[in-house]
Structure formats: C-alpha cells, structure tokens
Structure 1
C-alpha cells in the first residue's frame, strides 16, 4: 500500500457511452471501456481478468477501430485498470483524436 496516490501521466476521459472492445486470446470475449486516456483505460469485461494479464484489444469508435496491447494493472468490482503497452503509430493517432474530441465536448 502506498501512503499517497500516484498521479496519472494522462488525463482519463469518462465516456458517456462506453466504447465496445473485443478482447483477443484463447477465449475471445467482449468488454466496454468506461474511461480512456492516451496511456490506459477502465475496462469492464465479460470475463474475469487478473492483474498482470496481457490482452490485445480492438476498440470501436464509430467506424474507426483502434488496436493495442494492454496489461491489467488493477482489478475491482467496477472494472479493470489497464495500461497500454504497445500500439502502432496510426492507432495512437486515432486514440489521440478520440481523446481530444471528448475533451472538447
């Protein structure tokens, strides 16, 4: 336990309409992103995820698909905190535009 919270590197954006996500793997399943930032997200999943799990995600925003690899950093009843650990440059640009759009709303 840390005596004080560690500040986030990126601002988390709450999503009024959660984004749907496809979680790849041996047992592919779906999830919903409730918040998102350039460095991570809060993911509600139809399957239990464990801290340390590495997952590949496809997030849909309108007609756009954003692909990235993330690691589960914490898990609780409201969802999983995930950190984005790998993303192609064009997907990063799509995510940056998505976050900017929600910051302006």
Structure 2
C-alpha cells in the first residue's frame, strides 16, 4: 500500500492532476503530478491505450479540459468505435470542439 505521507514533491509541484480512474488516483496520492511527463509501458493488451483514453475522456467530461489524441497504430475511426464500448462518445466531443484526434498512422 502507498503511504501518502511519504510522497514527496518539489516546491510548486505539489498539485496533482486527477485521472478520474477509480482506484488509481488514490494509489497516487490524488492523481499524477502536474507538469510532469509519464511513460506507460507494458506488454500488448495490458491496457496502456485504454488508460490513456480514459484519462483523456475524464479530463474532458469531468474536469473541463480539452484534449488531443494522436493515433499512431489505429485509425481515428477505429479509436472512436473502440471507445464506444465504454460509453465514451469521442465523436460528440470532437463535434463540440473539446477533442481533436490526429491521424498519424
């Protein structure tokens, strides 16, 4: 278990950005540190893309952020179709100007 009291941050970096992913934010002391870069690494099929897409969706729908997704392995239409399985309507977010999906395939 993560001891939240032991999480140390540099001055000015103490604000965390919630991911909105159930259980994850609690493990990380409230979310990811603001102004940091993170690398998700793992075997194929372990959930890296879903994690990133859920973070993006939650940022837009729960926290009022705008987002951009650069599709490097799946075409944007495949991404839109896949996220519908989770109830995430990326096409509607694009129509509202809150999300841009860039095709880099």
TM-score by structure 1 length?
0.26
Q: Comparing both structures, which one devotes a greater share of its residues to helix?
A: 2
Q: Comparing both structures, which one devotes a greater share of its residues to strand?
A: 1
TM-score by structure 2 length?
0.26
Answer with 1 or 2: which has the greater Rg: 2
